[in-house]
Amino acid sequence: MHYNSKIVNRGVTEMRYGTTANLSRTLAVAVGAFTVIGFACAAMAQPAAAPGPATFTLQLENDSTRPGSDSYYTSGGRIAYTSAPDHVPAFMANLGDAVLGPARRRWLGLEVSHTIYTPYFSAGRDTLHNDRPYAAVVMGTVSLIQDVDNHRTSLGLGLGIIGPAAFGEAVQNGFHNLINQSELHGWGTQIPNQPVIQLTAERTWRLALKAANAGGWEVDVLPSATVGAGTFRIYGQAGAQVRLGQGLAVDFGVPRIRPGLTGSDAHDSSADFAWYVFLGADGQAVAWDETLDGLPFARSRNVGRIPLVGELQGGLAIISHGWRFTAAHVLQTNEFRGQRNGLFQFSSASLSVPF
């Protein structure tokens, strides 16, 4: 039997782009559903027992290993809404009571994150089989945040997609065109489409080492432990950071796009002014990482994941009349065998605005 190669190739192309279009529409519906659910939860939220506005947060992260180039975890972005204190839906409050006991609560909803991963040699149309695969992930997350005395607990559920439907190629090359940089042509080899689910549980403690004196200086340490499970990443993380500043009770550290040390977006927006500098470190035991191991239920490119990863981060935070600006720089050990250029580095910045 004879096949017309042009017809077959055209059919395969149409099937591929048709599938991507269908998944893109599914993603749009999922994000829209998250938005509707978020607004519905906000409408059902109980009145706040204490004064304080909700906050909107914008966060950006970008690699800085090789200036003017892209490699590994090359960029991330996140937008999120955090409720006012004790202004949570009744079912979330009941869940918090049942699982964690009474506490002061917020809920983090309408959070959408987008992350992009590329190989070290990203100039060609193909990638080396021992280099990190191209990948993009978009995820919507809802979290319950509980504060009791001097510790914070966060429980989160994330749903999203990895693959072309996450629009990594369009976002990255669109930005490159905007800043007059060359496009990356290897996105045709990226990890294919598949839904993503992620569960996360985290607790951070706040231990004062030096109370405020006449000058208002304080020192504290924030130990933390995190467990994550799902198709995206399975890992355990433990770490701590030391902070020096004024008004440290305003939050539990700066936010990060997970994994990594994060204090979440929730902070005391009633404080007139607070600031601190910090230095922290964490270790991660990683049993699965979809951006390295590939798809769990289909064949895709992958590399040899290193099970133990360490991070060192430092930076600052400034809080004024409910507004919070944070900046952090992260050094990270190798995540996979054959990773190049020594310690990987990236920077993170966030701005939270009350409303």
202-229 per-position pLDDT tens digit: 999 999 998 777 677 999 999 999 999 9
Give the HSE-up count for residue 260: Cα atoms under 13 Å, Cβ half-sphere.
25
Q: How many domains does the chain have?
A: 1
- Span 25-63, pLDDT tens digits: 545 444 444 444 444 444 444 444 445 789 999 999 999
pLDDT at residue 200 is higher than 50: yes
Question: What is the Cα–Cα distance from 90 to 50, expressed in whole angstroms?
Answer: 16
Say which CATH number the domain at 194 has: 2.40.128.140
DSSP secondary structure string, 101-112? -S-EEEEEEEEE
Question: What is the Cα–Cα distance from 125 to 286, expressed in whole angstroms?
Answer: 30
| Residues of the chain above pLDDT 70, percent | 81
**Confidence at 133, pLDDT banded by 50, 70, 90:** very high
DSSP 305: B
Instruction: List Cα–Cα distances, 64 to 60, 201, 286, in angstroms.
Output: 13, 29, 23
Between 14-23, 128-137, 153-162, the lowest mean confidence (pLDDT) is in 14-23
**Smallest Cα–Cα separation from 159: which of 96, 107, 61, 230?**
230
- Span 61-110, pLDDT tens digits: 999 655 556 889 999 999 999 999 888 888 888 888 888 888 889 988 77
Question: What is the Cα–Cα distance from 287 to 308, expressed in whole angstroms?
Answer: 9
pLDDT at res. 33? 45
The arithmetic mean of pLDDT across residues 150-173, rounded, is 95
DSSP 39: H
DSSP secondary structure string, 129-140? TTSPPPEEEEEE
Q: Whole-model pTM? A: 0.84
Q: How far is CA 185 from the centre of its chain?
A: 26
Top-confidence residue, 59 or 271: 59
The radius of gyration computed from the CA coordinates of the chain, to the nearest angstrom, equals 21
Range(s) of the domain holding residue 294 = 5-46+55-354
- Span 220-256, pLDDT tens digits: 999 999 999 999 999 999 999 999 999 999 999 999 9
CB 331 within 8 A of CB 315: no
204 bridge partner residues: 152, 224
pLDDT at res. 178? 87
Question: What is the Cα–Cα distance from 213 to 234, expressed in whole angstroms?
Answer: 43
**Confidence at 260, pLDDT banded by 50, 70, 90:** very high
Please name the residues in contact with 219: beta carbons below 8 A apart, sequence gap of 6 or more: 208, 209, 210, 242, 243, 244
The arithmetic mean of pLDDT across residues 9-31, rounded, is 44
**Residue in this structure with the two tokens 């000058």, named with its chain if needed:** 215
